[in-house]
Amino acid sequence: MKPTGGKVGTWIKLPALESVQIAAYAGFAFVVVDTEHAPLDVRTVYELVTVADALGVAPLVRVPDGRASGIQRLLDAGAAGVLVPHVDTVEQARDVVRAVRFPPDGRRGAGGTSRAGRWGLLGLDEYVADGAGALCVPQIESRAAVDAAGAIAALDGVDALFVGAADIGLDVGAAPSSPEVAELCGKVLAAAHEAGTPCGAATGTAAGAVGLLEQGFDFVVASNDTSMLAGAARTLVDTVRAGGVR
């Protein structure tokens, strides 16, 4: 069985423009700059987003939390959207939507002199219209979030859900690869699709990405720049040593 058309991206964790360029040249459809689990400051994220956008790769950002001030800065920096971790309830999801959307649908402030407004060259109406396309993606990472997934997916302003199998596993005390976690992730996927909302997930391998797409996930974040570099380095060293070189 072949995957059925989902998009494949990767995490960016290094403060290096080359990571984004390599991801673009490799053919990833999008990148997710990770500010939850990588020590990236706002200026670095701004540069990574700018390079991705220039290369035609959708630049998403995983924010460390749902604070509106942080989300606004990254959207005004030109991010195509945000992934927001640990959204466990419908009310938390509503708060995330409000942070991403302009009034009357949210509370995002006008920052038309930012990169997103072409430094003031866009009129206010055009700036707001462009901003309406920002993607709002809550992450489902606990049993409580799984139970609320259908209602979260059905909220106006939620563009997709993202399943965090590792954190679900931590929450329920099971390995991410366990049948229990797989069942919970499947429930999120089914609830999202029942609401007509795309659903994504992450994996560390190509085989894992194929498997997730075969399950029906609409987008997959496969591996990351640091792990791909580390894996290639370890493979090279192990291969050379296996040939008798020390």
Q: Residue 203 in contact with residue 224, Cβ under 8 Å?
A: no
Catalytic residue among 26, 37, 109, 234: 37
Q: What is the pLDDT at residue 87?
A: 98
- Flag whether 230 is in a domain: yes
Domain limits at 169?
7-242
- Flag whether 2 is in a domain: no
Whether this prediction's pTM lies above 0.85 is answered by: yes
Total domains in the chain come to 1
Q: For residue 234, what is the domain's CATH number?
A: 3.20.20.60
- Flag whether 94 is in a domain: yes
- Flag whether 57 is in a domain: yes
- Flag whether 1 is in a domain: no
Q: Is 37 a catalytic residue?
A: yes
Residue 156: pLDDT above 50?
A: yes
Residue 35: pLDDT above 90?
A: yes
Q: What is the pLDDT at residue 216?
A: 97
Q: What is the pLDDT at residue 50?
A: 98
Per-residue model confidence as pLDDT tens digits over 211-244 = 999 999 999 999 999 999 999 999 999 999 998 6
